[in-house]
Copies of this chain bind each other. A is one copy, B any other.
Amino acid sequence: MPRRNPGPRSTPKGKFVYFFGGGRAEGHGGMKDLLGGKGAGLAEMTNAGLPVPPGFTIATSACRHFFENGNRVSSGIDRQMLEAVERLEKASGLELGSKTRPLLVSVRSGAKFSMPGMMDTILNLGLKDETLAALAERSRNPRFAQDCYRRFIQMFGNIVLGIKKEEFDAIFVAVKEETGARIDTDLTAEALAEVVRRYKKLVQERSGEPFPQDPHQQLRLARDAVFRSWNNPRAKTYRRMHKISEALGTAVNVQMMVFGNLGENSATGVGFTRNPSTGAKEFYGEFLVNAQGEDVVAGIRTPLPVAELERPMPGVYRQLRTIAQRLERHYRDMQDFEYTIQDGRLYMLQTRTGKRTGRAALKIAYDMVKEKLIKPRQAVLRVEPAQLEQLLHPIIDDSQPLQVIAKGLPASPGAAVGRVVFTADEAAARGRSEPVILVRAETVPDDIHGMDAAAGILTARGGMTSHAAVVARGMGKCCVAGCEAVRIQEGERLFSVDATTVREGDWISLDGSTGRVILGRAKTISPDPASGEFAEFMRWADRERRLGVRANADIPRDAQVARRNGAEGIGLCRTEHMFFAEERLPHVQAMILADTEAKRREALAKLLPMQREDFKGLFRAMDALPVTIRLLDPPLHEFLPRRENLLVEVERLKAAGKARELEEKRRLLERVEQLHEFNPMLGHRGCRLGITYPEITEMQARAIFEAACEVAAEGVKVLPEVMIPLVGHVREFSLQRELVEKVAGQVFAEKKFKVRYLVGTMIELPRAAVTADEIAAEAEFFSFGTNDLTQTTFGFSRDDTGRIIREYERLGIFSDDPFQVLDAAGVGKLVQMGTELGRRARPGLKVGICGEHGGDPASVEFCHRIGLDYVSCSPYRVPVARLAAAHAAIKERLGLEEKTAGTA
């Protein structure tokens, strides 16, 4: 008789299967390339003497061979596997296919890099009609045995034989209906046996063969299916998105099944070596007697705190505590582990570095340094920069029940509780006496005073970099943006979410860290004021970093916060934010509406002393630190009433026959129409304002230098850096610089006093980046405005494309929102090019970034890598940026794998 499958079967040399069990493993933790992450971990635990269920790992080299060999395992590798099965039988005292002591195993994939949920797992392999009874008997639970079997057939049928999950589901639902079972657990052992019968029939029909009753055959087929799953479409997509090489392949882990539900002497549980929520050094975790992992997840029974394990199983409890301590010493980090107790015997199933809150991360890292487990540098790496945010803002107390009615974008972290108001004026009025939440379809610059007065801001539209989001982050104020479920009826002074209606004056709470909108007054937890431990930790971080960290701040109050948070200067003061203040807006509007230069100068003269006072406050707050002041940037019509509103008002006045008011509004409308732009982002703004109306630049320069001279006379050390915005052509810059220098000269002559200052530019247009050599010949510093640079490089208006970007993330086009994580491949390339060209023309040119990205850890790392001098971010994110900069420097020094900023 000819052999079946007579295809080419080369027999490669070498070791492909690695056994672990009985206190010794053939592999070890450093062999991730060959054994995959999971396999290496199992070997490591075994070698550490932990009670791990025995098993073996089929190496990634076998997987690669499998593909090269036409999707077949060569006989040599197969033989190595069978030998390992024999060793496993010996170690466990069980036997594959035995009717009395059947060995059941799990078959799991495990690649070098974790690809959660991408590949397949099969449990309870080894079950068949003949071994079923033994399982029922050992568990004294025939229902459990039947349930294991039907799950196994379904997993195997689906993964190995390619039968659709829906076909199994249909059978399951049918049997539930026939037996009147409401939920899965209502099904009796008999009903489940019926499910098993029909599943086997389905397998027979679809595959043309009966469900395999030879466990060795089951194992071979399962192994091959796991290998094949390396190439399933979702795994391939995942690898493409995460830049994981196709050539790596996956390992296969075969391990003895253990059961925590074999009676009162069995249990299952999870544990942490320290408290993952607070970081306290305490043995933490929970368990369920006579249960398996699924029962914990299903939430039908409530697990008990691990301490209570001591009473029923004192020996096991002591053993577990000892193991936990050994694990932590071994890995030198807090561990999260899973265990099962089968018939009084403890098995460790998994251990891994435990996830933790920001608070816990800091506490654990700090304590471990003090315990001399790790060095400060390692401690710095143990806290993710983004986690620090939790320590800097109040948070919603999740231990209380919350009535979450909607979820928007977590636009600015923190928590806020207040009464709902719908207009900025109302917020400003009412916000003085009680906390208010400003709810708007979207905010506009006109709303600033209301945003300032509100405890938190909720908008129905706009993305993570919408006006509301950017301003709120700058203010360190909680904001939930783009919450599209919220339907606002401003006229009726209410908003609704589905059937819930919230009226003006009602209490709501916002969670800016998760985007939750909560009905009523939620309890909040305030952050510890920068504690001694926190400060010491940040000093460790500062020792490591090379990159400077500045803050974006427009007013003295923000500058003080920035300084307290460790900012080394102001990287961006947006002077227009000073223009929106209530008492100034009329003068700003008069300036814009002026039809002659003389009238414009008159209005500007009124603004001059106000701006001067602003700058004096900033300079005082930042004594001896540099202050970068950007000249007026936004389109002028942002300061005027909106065109649509005027159109509507004109119609109303017409209908009401109010001739005089109508005429007035019409004139205003005419000017607004003149200033109207189809694409204001690409219109009359930035240095284009200062070039077409030089008197604006003159006023601002005068305010800066008068303030600098006056404050310097007080003994304060002032370091002003004047920044010309939106330069695209070097000649724009030169013209503005000449003007600034002229005014500086005049002021110094008048004051008989000089201060040193720099004039530089914001690089925020692609043209500026590609002609940065020309610009650097004239400019004394660069600051990359990566918000605008991202807009123009991508052609994405950040006010309009939130929905598109989210769709792009869903489709896998973007892996990150490029307005949050600097797009290294595109925008970053321009930043790098601009920096290199600039420094070629002016060696030692000081270069920073001042977009939203300055506070994003991955982006900070990118800035470090390309050699920028500093990043500038909102005052509240300064510690985040400091820590991210430290991470970048340490990783670079350690030659650790680089975590690149987003590739969108």
**A interface residue numbers (CB < 8 A to B):** 643-644, 647-648, 651-652, 655, 677-684, 686, 688, 691-692, 726, 728-729, 731-732, 735, 764-767, 770-771, 774, 788, 791-797, 799-801, 804, 807-808, 811-814, 823, 825-827, 829-830, 833, 904
Contact = CB atoms under 8 A, between A and B. Distances in A.
A796 B682 contact: yes
B797 A683 contact: yes
Pairs of residues from A and B, 3 with the lowest C-beta to C-beta distance, nearest first: A682-B797, A651-B651, A679-B797
B813 A684 contact: no
Contact of A679 (B679, B804, B811, B814): B679
Contacts of A826: 728-729, 766-767, 770-771
Contacts of A771: 825-826, 829
Contact of A678 (B648, B688, B800): B800
Chain multiplicity (copies)? 2
A340 to B, nearest CB: 43
Given A679-B681, A679-B799, A767-B827, A729 B814 contact: yes
A807 B681 CA distance: 19
Contacts of A764: 795
Q: Is the interface of A mostly helix, strand, loop or mixed?
A: helix
Contact of A792 (B647, B774, B795): B795
Contacts of A825: 771, 774
Given A728-B826, A788-B795, A814-B729, A801 B684 contact: yes
Contact of A680 (B679, B688, B791): B679
Contacts of A731: 811-813
A93 B757 CA distance: 66
Residue among A678, A797, A904 with most chain B CB within 10 A: A678
A108 B524 CA distance: 84
B797 A678 contact: yes
A682 B679 contact: yes
Given A648-B651, A683-B797, A766-B792, 13 more contacts: A647-B647, A681-B795, A682-B795, A684-B801, A688-B801, A729-B826, A731-B811, A732-B808, A732-B813, A765-B793, A765-B794, A767-B827, A792-B793
Contacts of A684: 800-801, 804
Contacts of A652: 651, 655
A348 to B, nearest CB: 42
Contacts of A679: 679-682, 797, 799-800
A732 B684 CA distance: 31
Contacts of A686: 795
Contacts of A814: 729
A263 to B, nearest CB: 53
25 contacts: A677-B799, A678-B797, A678-B800, A679-B679, A679-B682, A679-B797, A679-B799, A682-B682, A682-B801, A683-B797, A683-B800, A688-B804, A692-B807, A728-B793, A731-B811, A732-B813, A735-B813, A764-B795, A766-B766, A766-B792, A766-B826, A767-B823, A770-B793, A770-B829, A792-B793
A190 to B, nearest CB: 45
A904 B795 contact: no
A794 B682 CA distance: 8
A793 B789 CA distance: 9
A813 to B, nearest CB: 4
Nearest to A767: B826
Contact of A830 (B766, B801, B904): B766
Contacts of A801: 682-684, 688
A602 to B, nearest CB: 23
Nearest to A241: B731
A608 B438 CA distance: 47
B770 A691 contact: no
Contact of A729 (B644, B692, B904): B904
Contacts of A796: 682, 728
A675 to B, nearest CB: 10
A647 B669 CA distance: 15
Given A679-B680, A682-B796, A683-B800, A691 B766 contact: no
A555 to B, nearest CB: 26
A109 to B, nearest CB: 26
B683 A681 contact: no
A488 to B, nearest CB: 12
B811 A691 contact: yes
Nearest to A815: B731
Contacts of A795: 681-682, 686, 726, 728, 764-765, 767, 788, 792
A681 B680 contact: no
Contacts of A729: 813-814, 826, 904
A804 B801 CA distance: 27
Contacts of A677: 797, 799-800
B799 A678 contact: yes
